[in-house]
């Protein structure tokens, strides 16, 4: 792999994704990894990421000069560029001039291998207070900017290069090309990481891991579990059984989408468990959001566990057992759980997990190495429909956390109807890909006066919460066209008698979360 050494900024994962866009497999490693650790992984190249530190700070992470004696190609970005310069005997200075944001890059002396043929002046994204003032011995300087006399350097004989700017962000239009040239032309790595190769490799690995055994996969209706299941299905066909728990908190049409579309695309064995009664009675009278999440999470695991037990018992009678549990864990989860810092538990997210020991499943996680966009491409490659592959995120606890107040069947029906209208209109307006998601929230304990025809009404408001986001960590409220909002509002108030008011949530995240509970 190409190893992206994470110096603690949010950029390392983005860099790893960009490397993969150049069809080269990459992984993120912490900057605390020693040079022998790095070399043990037999890296095709090493990318040193940007980071928040100044090379002048006490305790700032350093690059061990031994890294440069191993014959491995190295590319430094921003902080990694400066740390590389220092390690190789160049000079960096704390000049006090900061460059932040869009900056003009001036290509120098033909631009070398990485910048040749690019426009002589082009925009790049910068974020630095220190700068390299003298490149190390053996390097040629290929670009500069107002605040960085050395903004790019390279030593193609030793296969080293670096840039002060951030090639990985969208604000640097030629960034991907520069990264690609480093990987393909300077480091000499062949581009082999394609969707087809991912599928082949994962299928081979799943076969190797599961052998002649059987596996169970819980489907949530979301992209990740669907793609994980489809991959395992491709590998072991009818020795996979999928379980879909209908907890009664689903949106209109979701169950059908799994039962019909997913099965049609994959031919998988599917067991749907009708658990609405059970969830609704467990939730009766509960309005505290964390309580709701805990109850839904607990019931979910219990239902899944019971189903798995039953399947195991049935299969056992025929001398066959389910040994494996498939999970749709993605690479960012793997990086983040190994990352150590442990973000605050803002809301207790639930997934299938925490299964009891005595079920003794071994895990199969075929998406552990993949980013979300790769998962979607793999889904399409496996023939899953767009409706599944480009499905917007929907929380595990479902509509249960979109009813403010306690959850009843009647309230769920009201919310489901309003939600279906909003989704229909957003889809009809062609906005599905522009928004991250648009929760519709029922304020079940708030009543508002209205008038319809000549009658006074005393109904409930629903909130539209359209958000735009890259990764759900931060989000902005989406400026939906007024005519779309109008259609949604008119239809909901006309077609859902219990709702007499539609309001728009215009809060970004932070401070608001995307979901209301
Ligand atoms: P928040 O509300 O934390 O949501 O800003 C961020 C993203 O996560 C989804 N979400 C959940 N997903 N289980 C899930 O699987 C949960 O308990 C859960 N809570 C929130 C939410 O829809 C948004 O996309």
Of 250, 246, 288, the C-alpha closest to 399 is 250
Tell me the per-residue pLDDT of 319-334, one tens digit each, with 9 for 90 and over: 888 999 999 999 988 8
- 513 C-beta closer than 6 A to ligand 1: yes
Asked whether residue 229 is domain-assigned, the answer is: yes
pLDDT at 354 over 70: no
pLDDT at 342 over 70: no
Neighbours of 42 (CB within 10 A): 9
Residue of 291, 395, 401 to test ligand 1 pocket, by largest number of atoms within 8 Å of CB = 395
Tell me the per-residue pLDDT of 88-102, one tens digit each, with 9 for 90 and over: 999 999 877 788 889
321 is catalytic: no
| Whether the Cβ atoms of residue 90 and residue 134 lie closer than 8 Å to each other | yes
Could you tell me which residues come within 8 angstroms of residue 428 by beta carbon, excluding any fewer than 6 positions away?
A: none
Rounded mean pLDDT of 239-258? 96
Distance of CA 222 from the midpoint of ligand 1 (Å): 12
Distance of CA 439 from the midpoint of ligand 1 (Å): 10
Rounded mean pLDDT of 325-352? 61
Rounded distance between C-alpha atoms, residue 472 and residue 483, angstroms: 26
Atom of ligand 1 nearest to the CA of 516: 2
Give yes or no: residues 409 and 376 share one domain.
Answer: no
Asked whether residue 394 is domain-assigned, the answer is: no
Give yes or no: residues 384 and 408 share one domain.
Answer: no
| Whether the Cβ atoms of residue 133 and residue 92 lie closer than 8 Å to each other | yes
Give yes or no: residues 258 and 312 share one domain.
Answer: yes
CATH of residue 21:
3.40.50.880
CATH of residue 367:
3.40.50.620
pLDDT at 349 over 50: no
Q: Which of 33-42, 95-104, 427-436, 474-483 has the lowest mean pLDDT?
A: 95-104
Judge residue 478's burial from the number of C-beta atoms within 10 Å of its C-beta, 0-12 exposed, 13-18 middle, 19 or more buried.
buried
Give yes or no: residues 182 and 199 share one domain.
Answer: no
Percent pLDDT > 70 in the chain is 96
CATH of residue 449:
3.30.300.10
* Residue-by-residue DSSP string for 15-53: HHHHHHHTT--EEEEETTS-HHHHHHT--SEEEE---S-
* Residue-by-residue DSSP string for 453-513: TTEEEEEEEEEE--EE-SSSSSBEE----HHHHHHHHHHHHHH-TTEEEEEE----BTTS-
Give yes or no: residues 176 and 201 share one domain.
Answer: no
Give yes or no: residues 111 and 252 share one domain.
Answer: no
Q: What residue's CA is closest to ligand 1, atom 16?
A: 349
471 known ligand binder: no
Asked whether residue 123 is domain-assigned, the answer is: yes
Asked whether residue 113 is domain-assigned, the answer is: yes
Rounded distance between C-alpha atoms, residue 291 and residue 214, angstroms: 35
What is the torsional sign of CA 425, 427, 432, 433? negative
Asked whether residue 517 is domain-assigned, the answer is: no
pLDDT at 10 over 80: no
Backbone φ/ψ region at 256: left (φ over 0), alpha (ψ -120 to 50), beta: alpha
- Predicted pLDDT at 350: 41
Asked whether residue 291 is domain-assigned, the answer is: yes
Give yes or no: residues 201 and 321 share one domain.
Answer: yes
Residue of 223, 300, 351, 514 to test ligand 1 pocket, by largest number of atoms within 8 Å of CB = 514
Domain end point (choices 389, 421, 447) = 389
* Residue-by-residue DSSP string for 50-82: --S--TTSTT-----GGGGGS---EEEETHHHH
Give yes or no: residues 76 and 152 share one domain.
Answer: yes
pLDDT at 344 over 70: no
66 known ligand binder: no
Rounded mean pLDDT of 19-35? 95
Report the largest interatomic distance among the alpha carbons of the chain, rounded to a whole angstrom: 85
Atom of ligand 1 nearest to the CA of 394: 22
Q: Which of 161-165, 311-315, 337-341 has the lowest mean pLDDT?
A: 337-341
Higher pLDDT, 515 or 332: 515
221 known ligand binder: yes
Rounded distance between C-alpha atoms, residue 167 and residue 174, angstroms: 7
Give yes or no: residues 232 and 145 share one domain.
Answer: no
* Residue corresponding to tokens 């009647």: 410
Asked whether residue 480 is domain-assigned, the answer is: yes
Tell me the per-residue pLDDT of 280-306, one tens digit each, with 9 for 90 and over: 999 999 999 999 999 999 999 899 989
Judge residue 50's burial from the number of C-beta atoms within 10 Å of its C-beta, 0-12 exposed, 13-18 middle, 19 or more buried.
buried
Q: Which of 155-159, 174-178, 281-285, 368-372 has the lowest mean pLDDT?
A: 368-372
- Predicted pLDDT at 340: 31
Could you tell me which residues come within 8 angstroms of residue 59 by beta carbon, excluding any fewer than 6 positions away?
A: none
What average pLDDT does the structure give for the chain? 92
Residue of 353, 393, 475 to test ligand 1 pocket, by largest number of atoms within 8 Å of CB = 393
pLDDT at 359 over 90: no
Helix (H) or strand (E) holding 209: helix 195-210
- Predicted pLDDT at 356: 66
326 known ligand binder: no
- 473 C-beta closer than 6 A to ligand 1: no
Tell me the per-residue pLDDT of 261-286, one tens digit each, with 9 for 90 and over: 999 999 999 999 999 999 999 999 99
Domain end point (choices 186, 208, 233) = 186
Q: Give the residues across from 468 on adjacent strands.
A: 476
pLDDT at 353 over 60: no
Neighbours of 133 (CB within 10 A): 14
Give yes or no: residues 269 and 303 share one domain.
Answer: yes
Asked whether residue 105 is domain-assigned, the answer is: yes
94 is catalytic: no
pLDDT at 461 over 90: yes
Q: Which of 128, 131, 154, 168 is catalytic?
A: 168
Cα–chain-centroid distance for residue 168? 17
Please give the ipTM for the structure prediction. 0.98
Rounded distance between C-alpha atoms, residue 400 and residue 278, angstroms: 13
| Whether the Cβ atoms of residue 5 and residue 176 lie closer than 8 Å to each other | no
- Predicted pLDDT at 346: 37
- 225 C-beta closer than 6 A to ligand 1: no
Rounded mean pLDDT of 95-115? 91
Distance of CA 347 from the midpoint of ligand 1 (Å): 8
Containing domain of residue 258, as a range? Answer: 195-389
Give yes or no: residues 382 and 237 share one domain.
Answer: yes
pLDDT at 377 over 60: yes
217 is catalytic: no
- 269 C-beta closer than 6 A to ligand 1: no
Rounded distance between C-alpha atoms, residue 153 and residue 22, angstroms: 21
Query: What is the count of structural domains for the chain?
Result: 3
pLDDT at 223 over 70: yes
Opening angle at CA 213, ends 212 and 218, nearest 5? 140
224 known ligand binder: yes
Distance of CA 466 from the midpoint of ligand 1 (Å): 14
Q: What residue's CA is closest to ligand 1, atom 12?
A: 395
Domain end point (choices 389, 412, 440) = 389
For residue 437, give the DSSP letter.
B
- Predicted pLDDT at 169: 92
pLDDT at 352 over 70: no
- Predicted pLDDT at 300: 92
Which tokens in the block code for residue 479? 């400026």
pLDDT at 443 over 80: yes
Give yes or no: residues 81 and 207 share one domain.
Answer: no
């Amino acid at each position: 792999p190409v190893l992206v050494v994470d110096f603690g900024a949010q950029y390392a994962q983005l860099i790893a994704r960009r490397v993969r866009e150049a069809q080269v497999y990459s992984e993120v490693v912490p900057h605390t990894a020693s040079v022998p650790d790095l070399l043990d992984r037999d890296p095709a190249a090493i990318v040193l990421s940007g980071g928040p530190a100044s090379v002048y700070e006490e305790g700032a992470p350093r690059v061990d000069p031994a890294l440069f004696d191993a014959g491995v190609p190295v590319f430094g970005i921003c902080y990694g560029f400066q740390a590389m310069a220092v390690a190789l005997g160049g000079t960096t200075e704390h000049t006090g001039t900061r460059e932040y944001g869009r900056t003009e890059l001036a290509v120098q002396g033909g631009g070398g291998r990485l910048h040749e043929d690019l426009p002589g002046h082009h925009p790049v994204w910068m974020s630095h207070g220190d700068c390299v003032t003298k490149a190390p011995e053996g390097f040629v300087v290929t670009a500069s900017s107002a605040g960085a006399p050395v903004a790019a350097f390279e030593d193609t004989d030793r296969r080293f290069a670096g840039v002060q700017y951030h090639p990985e962000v969208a604000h640097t239009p030629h960034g991907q090309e520069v990264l690609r040239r480093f990987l393909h032309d300077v480091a000499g790595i062949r581009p082999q990481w394609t969707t087809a190769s991912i599928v082949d490799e994962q299928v081979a690995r799943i076969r190797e891991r599961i052998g002649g055994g059987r596996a169970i996969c819980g489907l949530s209706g979301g992209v990740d579990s669907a793609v994980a299941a489809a991959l395992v299905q491709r590998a072991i066909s009818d020795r996979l059984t999928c379980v879909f728990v209908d907890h009664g908190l689903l949106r209109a049409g979701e169950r059908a989408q799994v039962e019909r579309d997913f099965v049609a695309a994959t031919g998988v064995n599917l067991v749907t468990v009708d658990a609405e009664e059970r969830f609704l009675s467990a939730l009766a009278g509960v309005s505290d959001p964390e309580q709701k999440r805990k109850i839904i999470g607990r019931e979910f695991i219990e239902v899944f566990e019971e189903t798995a037990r039953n399947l195991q018992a049935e299969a056992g009678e025929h001398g066959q057992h389910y040994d494996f549990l498939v999970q749709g864990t993605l690479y960012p989860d793997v990086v983040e759980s190994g990352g150590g810092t442990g973000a605050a538990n803002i809301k207790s997210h639930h997934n299938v997990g925490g299964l009891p020991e005595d079920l003794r499943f071994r895990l199969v996680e075929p998406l552990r190495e993949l980013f979300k966009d790769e998962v979607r491409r793999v889904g399409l490659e496996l023939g899953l429909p767009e409706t599944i592959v480009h499905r917007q995120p929907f929380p595990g606890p479902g509509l249960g956390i979109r009813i403010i107040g306690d959850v009843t069947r009647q309230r769920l029906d009201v919310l489901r109807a309003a939600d279906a209208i909003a989704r229909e209109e957003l889809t009809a307006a062609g906005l599905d890909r522009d928004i991250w998601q648009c929760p519709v929230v029922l304020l079940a304990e708030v009543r508002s006066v209205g008038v319809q025809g000549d009658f006074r009404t005393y109904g409930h408001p629903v909130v539209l919460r359209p958000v735009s986001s890259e990764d759900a960590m931060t989000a902005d409220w989406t400026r939906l066209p007024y005519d779309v909002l109008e259609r949604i509002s008119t239809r909901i108030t006309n077609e859902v008698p219990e709702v007499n008011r539609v309001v728009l949530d215009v809060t970004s995240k932070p401070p608001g979360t995307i979901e209301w509970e």
